[in-house]
Amino acid sequence: MSEITQELDARGLNCPLPILRAKKSIAGLTTGEVLRITATDPGSVKDFEAFCKQTGHALVSSTEDNGAFVFDIQKS
């Protein structure tokens, strides 16, 4: 399991804001570092899959925890 470098609280935000904020946070990381995003928008599951596919970053894990969706994304 990779260590989390930074966390982003995107709870309560609607698509596409979690993606927009994740994009900005990842820009500040170096390769291999991991950003953990917590979101509540159910659409974010598909959105982050698409985001990683398009940007080439690795979706290390995508889980649901008590109504919140948690994504760990490793910068490529």
Partner 1 sequence: MAKRLKAAERKASILAVAKVLFADKGYHGVSVDEIAKRLGVSPAILYQHFPSKEALYEEVLSENSAKRESYIEAILTEPTDFVSVLKRMTSIYVESVSSDPDFLRMELMSALEGSHTATSFFERRWRSITDYIEYSLNELRAENQLTRINSRIAGLMYQGMLREVLYTKYITEDVRYKDMPLETMIDELVKMFVMAIDK
Catalytic annotation, residues: 15
CB of 26 to partner 1, least distance (A): 12
CB of 48 to partner 1, least distance (A): 9
Residue 71: count of CB within 10 angstroms of its CB: 25
Residue 20: alpha-carbon gap to chain centroid: 10
Q: Does 13 bind partner 1 (CB under 8 A)?
A: yes
d(C-alpha 57, C-alpha 5), whole Å: 15
Helix, strand, coil in percent for the chain, rounding step 5: 30, 35, 35
CB of 6 to partner 1, least distance (A): 19
* Residues making contact with partner 1 (CB under 8 A): 13-17, 19-20, 23, 43, 46-47, 50-51, 54-55
